[in-house]
Every structure is written in structure tokens, then in C-alpha cells.
């Protein structure tokens, strides 16, 4: 995981941590993954919308939970851990087995997981699926662009 930048909602540290988490949820093993699809851009963009803005503090806290757990157990930030150690922390987060009181671990993981997949497969105009990498990976053809004046199909 290389450096990070601050987003519209996420601070640089949160960006880096959550980018690493999305890249373990959807790794680039046998093809493109979260990194190539720019899923972190999608996630940050969604957190800037009216609908998702109330969840931004939870995502920032989730990033801190991962970093604090990584530092406590491995002496390094989450993004700097080996993939196996990142996977272990993510599994324990998904099962609410991290020693973090009053944090909705399971719900946070499910939302992070869902938004990772959405960022990989959504319309690129929403910030993810960069250059339609997600669509191409599943064989989804580029949709025909409607032009002004086209009639909708019924």
C-alpha cells in the first residue's frame, strides 16, 4: 500500500487504512480488485453525499479501530501489515471479536464490504469502477450512452 491522500471526507490516515481494507476485501489476486477500480475514491465520495454523510464518523472510527488493533498487536498501522495479518483483523472485525467496546463491528464491516463491491461494479460516474475495470472483469459490456432527445425504452 503506497501513500494516501486526504479525500473530501476522509483524512489521509483514514484514507490509507480504509483503502488497505477494501484491497483485502477485494484483492487484485487473479485480476483487478479494489485498488484498480479506485474503490476508496467511491467510498469517500459516497460519504460526502447527504445519504451517507451521517456514517462518516463511523467510518473514521472504523479506520481508527483497525489501526489501533494493528498497532496493539503488531506495532504498525493496518496498511503496513502483511496481507495475512490484515485479513485476520478484518475477519475478527466482521465477527465482532476485536476488543473494542461500543463499536458496531459487524455492521461496520458489512457496510464496508458492500460499499467495496458497489465501488467495484457501480457506474464510473460515481467515483469507482475506474475505466470500467469492474465491468470488464465480469464481461459486462459498456452500456450505450443515451443522448439528449432519446426516448426511454418501455
pTM over the 0.95 mark: no
DSSP category for residue 137: H
The answer to whether 47 and 118 have CB atoms below 8 angstroms apart is no
In this predicted structure, what is the pLDDT of residue 31?
86
In this predicted structure, what is the pLDDT of residue 137?
79
Please tell me which residue, 149 or 110, carries the higher pLDDT value: 110
From residue 55, alpha-carbon distances to 3, 42, 50, 52 in Å are 24, 14, 10, 5
Chain mean position to CA 70: 18
Greatest C-alpha distance within the chain: 59
Q: What are phi and psi of 133, to 5 degrees?
A: -60, -40
For the chain, the structural domain boundaries read 12-137
CA distance linking residue 13 with residue 73, whole number of Å? 18
pLDDT digits (tens, 9 = 90+) for 21-35: 999 999 998 889 899
What is the average pLDDT across 118-130? 80
Q: How many of the other CB atoms lie within 10 Å of CB of 144?
A: 7
The mean predicted confidence, pLDDT, of the chain is 89
Of the chain, the percentage scoring pLDDT greater than 90 comes to 69
CA distance linking residue 18 with residue 10, whole number of Å? 9
pLDDT of 7 higher than 90: no
In this predicted structure, what is the pLDDT of residue 139?
79
Please tell me which residue, 134 or 105, carries the higher pLDDT value: 105
In this predicted structure, what is the pLDDT of residue 151?
63
Amino acid at each position: 500500500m503506497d501513500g494516501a491522500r486526504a479525500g473530501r471526507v476522509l483524512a489521509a490516515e483514514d484514507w490509507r487504512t480504509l483503502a488497505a481494507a477494501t484491497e483485502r476485501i477485494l484483492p487484485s489476486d487473479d485480476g483487478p480488485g479494489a485498488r484498480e477500480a479506485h474503490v476508496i475514491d467511491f467510498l469517500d465520495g459516497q460519504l460526502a453525499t447527504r445519504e451517507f454523510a451521517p456514517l462518516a464518523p463511523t467510518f473514521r472510527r472504523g479506520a481508527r479501530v483497525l489501526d489501533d488493533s494493528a498497532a496493539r498487536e503488531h506495532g504498525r498501522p493496518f496498511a503496513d501489515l502483511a496481507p495475512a495479518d490484515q485479513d485476520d483483523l478484518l475477519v475478527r472485525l466482521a465477527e465482532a471479536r476485536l476488543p473494542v467496546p461500543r463499536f458496531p463491528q459487524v455492521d461496520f464491516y458489512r457496510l464496508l464490504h458492500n460499499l467495496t463491491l458497489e465501488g467495484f461494479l457501480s457506474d464510473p460516474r460515481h467515483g469507482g469502477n475506474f475505466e470500467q475495470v469492474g465491468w470488464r472483469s465480469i464481461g459486462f459490456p459498456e452500456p450505450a450512452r443515451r443522448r439528449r432527445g432519446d426516448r426511454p425504452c418501455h
